[in-house]
Amino acid sequence: MKKNFLKKVSQKINEIDKNKIKFATKLILKKKKNNKIIIAGNGASANIAGHVAVDFTKSAKVRAINFNEAGLLTCFSNDYGYENWLKKALEFYSIPGDVLILISSSGNSKNIINAAKVAKKLGLKLITLSGFSKRNQLQNKGAVNFYVDSNNYNIIESTHLIILLQIVENIINKSI
């Protein structure tokens, strides 16, 4: 008998390394006051980025942005190519010491990988969230990397959201 969706998501949530969540929380809390969190992804991961950016800002009182603005995305994609739009946005909007959170279910989206590659050069602290293959390109690029061992987008995305919301909750409740 196949496990149902809620059981599978619960299993993946229980597999999350709590020490990694603490480390990611501390990484965010150690940023300087003038620094911010930048969160990015594609598709549903972009929606997760938007949701969590608001929660970081409003609920946790940590300034966060995402790049889900259609004009920015289409302009930069047109001018620099889709695989480079996020990298270029980071060059324009980030400052050294910002925390970059990159979300990619596959861990192989070219625009996300290119952003991860430029993060160190820009002096950004990187947190990654990925899934599907444990050998995906994003899996080892960050100071802390979260990997969800699943081939199901909904399970991966739900788990990514839970990880990020737990970090928000840690900051709100000052529990790390």
CATH T-level fold of 5-173: Rossmann fold (3.40.50)
Averaged pLDDT for residues 113-127? 97
pLDDT tens per residue, range 66-76: 999 999 999 99
Per-position b or e across 38-52, b if 16+ CB within 10 A of its CB: bbbbbebbbbbbbeb
Q: Quote the CA–CA distance of 79 and 88 in Å, as a whole number.
A: 10
| Spans of all domains in the chain | 5-173
Distances (CA, A) of 1 to 4, 9, 30: 9, 16, 46
At 175 the pLDDT is 77
State which amino acid sits at residue 24.
A
pLDDT tens per residue, range 27-69: 999 989 899 999 999 999 999 999 999 999 999 999 999 999 9
At 98 the pLDDT is 97
Residue 151 CB neighbours (<10 A): 12
Q: In terms of DSSP H, where are the helices of the chain?
A: 5-14, 18-29, 44-54, 70-80, 85-93, 110-122, 153-173
At 2 the pLDDT is 59
